């Protein structure tokens, strides 16, 4: 069986380097392309140098040329860049693993439309542990649906540009869906001053940014006389990279369509 040919967007970034390392260390994946923005000083360099050794694949800004012949593109960049890559992948029949966050509803609809032609795994967090946590939150929400206030606390490194994190929002969506609520209507993203008593139907979010925290998430179910906390802590980006590579393998074995990590991990 031939290796799965993987392209990586944003290869010079923190996640991109973790993905490069994961692909180059795997036995069943082959690095087909490494993409970066047009102004990147890394263009033309061997992608393997970012992880300590040469691999023969040059970093390129020409996505249309670089993606020719690829099986799957893994993209953890920004919505605008991901959607540009989406258009190219549609034309070339290249599957996508999308870990990009902060999409608008309209942009998510574009992903859904493209999934009629190509396979897409789209998830706010590719970590196997986080996606198991999503399942645990679904179970907990059913049992703790009355009499428990729900708060989501997340912490990330100082360089993260969006808040709350896509993972925190994903957790909120799982809980709201299980409880029959609309997260857009029940989410509270900040409290200051005299806020009044807590509305029991709300889901609160608290954000911490500092240092080099890779990603900590805790969901607190606070009841009368007890608290239940479900926590996931990531200590390395390797966990996200390994999950994304697992998603790439999943797409290689499945038909076109829109999937998430719950599908990849057979948790549905």
Tokens of 147: 């009499």
Marked catalytic residue, from 5, 32, 85, 156: 156
Active site includes 91?
Answer: no
Partners of residue 75 on adjacent β-strands: 98
Q: Which of 147, 88, 154, 137 is nearest to 117 (CA)?
A: 88
Tokens of 70: 């690829």
181 Cβ contact list (under 8 Å, min separation 6): 201, 203
User: What sign for the dihedral angle of Cα 178, 180, 181, 182?
Assistant: positive
Task: Give the residue carrying structure tokens 């996606």.
Answer: 131
Tokens of 156: 């990330």
Marked catalytic residue, from 160, 217, 252, 268: 160
**Other residues' Cβ atoms within 10 Å of the Cβ of residue 119:** 26
- Say if residues 60 and 37 touch (Cβ distance below 8 Å): no
Tokens of 174: 């799982």
Q: Which of 204, 156, 155, 208 is nearest to 176 (CA)?
A: 204
Active site includes 160?
Answer: yes
Q: Please identify every residue annotated as catalytic.
A: 156, 160
């Amino acid at each position: 069986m031939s290796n799965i040919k993987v392209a990586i967007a944003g290869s010079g970034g923190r996640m991109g380097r973790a993905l490069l390392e994961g692909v180059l260390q795997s036995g069943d994946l082959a690095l087909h392309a490494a993409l970066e923005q047009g102004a990147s000083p890394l263009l033309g360099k061997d992608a393997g140098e970012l992880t300590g050794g040469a691999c023969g694949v040059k970093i390129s800004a020409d996505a249309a040329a670089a993606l020719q012949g690829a099986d799957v593109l893994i993209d953890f960049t920004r919505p605008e860049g991901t959607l540009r890559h989406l258009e190219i992948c549609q034309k070339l029949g290249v599957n996508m693993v999308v870990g990009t966050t902060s999409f608008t509803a309209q942009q998510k609809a574009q992903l859904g439309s493209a999934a009629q032609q190509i396979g897409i795994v789209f998830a706010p967090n590719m970590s196997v542990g986080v996606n198991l946590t999503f399942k645990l939150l679904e179970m907990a929400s059913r049992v703790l649906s009355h009499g428990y206030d729900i708060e989501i606390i997340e912490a990330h490194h100082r360089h993260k540009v969006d808040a709350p994190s896509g993972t925190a929002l994903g957790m909120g969506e799982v809980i709201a869906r299980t409880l029959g609520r609309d997260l857009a209507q029940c989410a509270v993203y900040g409290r200051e001053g005299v806020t009044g008593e807590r509305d029991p139907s709300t889901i609160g979010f608290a954000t911490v940014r500092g240092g080099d925290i890779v990603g900590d998430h805790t969901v607190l179910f606070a009841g009368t006389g007890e608290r239940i906390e479900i926590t996931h802590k990531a200590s390395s980006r390797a966990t996200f990279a390994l999950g994304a590579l697992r998603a790439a393998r999943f797409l290689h074995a499945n038909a076109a369509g829109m999937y998430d990590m719950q599908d990849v991990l057979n948790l549905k």
